[in-house]
Amino acid sequence: MASLINVTTKKVAKRKVEDEFKQKNRCLTYTYHLQVSRSMIPICKSCFQITFNESSKFITNVILSKNTGTSRITYDDKRGTHEPWHKIPDEVKEAARKHILSLPAYETHYYRHQTTKKYLPPHYTFYKIYEEYVKQENVNKAISKKNYAELFHEEKTTIKRLQKDTCQTCDKLHIKINSATELNKETLQQELSDHQNSCKDDNSKRIYTFDLQQCLPTPDVVTSYTFYKRQPMTFNLSLHDCVSKQAYCHTWHEVIARRGANQVGSCLYSHLISNIPPEVKQVILYSDTYGGQNKNSHLVAMFFTP
């Protein structure tokens, strides 16, 4: 932009006026140009300002920068190029990042192929994690809690919240009941009761819900000595009898086996063989549709096993 502004010395001095405060002592003349096909076309300042969408103050600063140079050449603005005084040193930030990576995070068994997020056990809190980071001996200068939280989220780490799966039919009926009128509410409540108690009076049926529990770190302690340890994970496939309200647990640790379709199928087969009374002719199983564990060809083949 400075190359489009020419600065020349004023050739004709203006005549003195009686009022010295009205006397203009401008010694330089500024002409503004636009370059079109290698030719410079003079324009007024207003047109120049509108064309480049710049303020009058910005153009004035360009002219002052050009006038202060001995060769009338402007240079790049040096503002904002220096390192700010409050910038966190790279070694301090790297120490905080290593502390986050040292936490015993694990992958969720839901949608592992769609996300790279890692989870910490529910008994962790962000305040406790940051407190342990500050207490570390090799941390000479701890970063603030806000900066630590930013690094915490950059590493795609979060604290797992306790939650449970719900039945799709029950959820749908509860929504209908909440929005129904008094005339239809009794019918919907009866439908919900029939759904939840469909085999209470029928000894030839059994209904089970099953799912893998959240991975259990072993031993499950929260002392500072084991805070940074990589505890082995224990798996628990739990089954709930919806009639007797009794729960069954099948546990093993990761040294023995993984937590895939073969392991889930083996636990279900063992339960069906050992705990189903002879009078039961129909078994209904509810679970989520996670293909790696509950909804796959391995379990279908197991159900057809005599």
Check: CB of residue 107 under 8 Å from CB of residue 157.
no
The Cβ of residue 202 has, within 10 Å, a number of other Cβ atoms equal to 13
pLDDT in tens, 290-306: 888 888 899 999 888 77
Residues making up the chain, counted from first to last: 306
Check: CB of residue 128 under 8 Å from CB of residue 223.
no
Residue whose entry in the numeric block shows the structure tokens 């936490």: 103
The answer for residues whose C-beta is within 8 angstroms of residue 131's C-beta and 6 or more apart is: none
The answer for residues whose C-beta is within 8 angstroms of residue 241's C-beta and 6 or more apart is: 206, 207, 208, 247, 248
For the chain, the domains span 2-68, 90-159, 165-196, 198-303
Confidence check: pLDDT of 235 > 90: yes
Check: CB of residue 163 under 8 Å from CB of residue 214.
no
Distance of alpha carbon 227 from alpha carbon 251, whole angstroms: 24
What confidence category does residue 204 fall into, taking pLDDT thresholds of 50, 70 and 90?
confident
Confidence check: pLDDT of 68 > 80: no
Report helix, strand or coil for 285: strand
Rounded to 5°, angle at Cα 68 from 67 and 69? 95
pLDDT in tens, 157-174: 888 765 666 677 888 888
Report helix, strand or coil for 6: strand
What is the pTM assigned to this prediction? 0.44
Distance of alpha carbon 195 from alpha carbon 46, whole angstroms: 78
Of residues 245 and 13, more confidence is placed in: 245
Per-residue pLDDT, 252 = 94
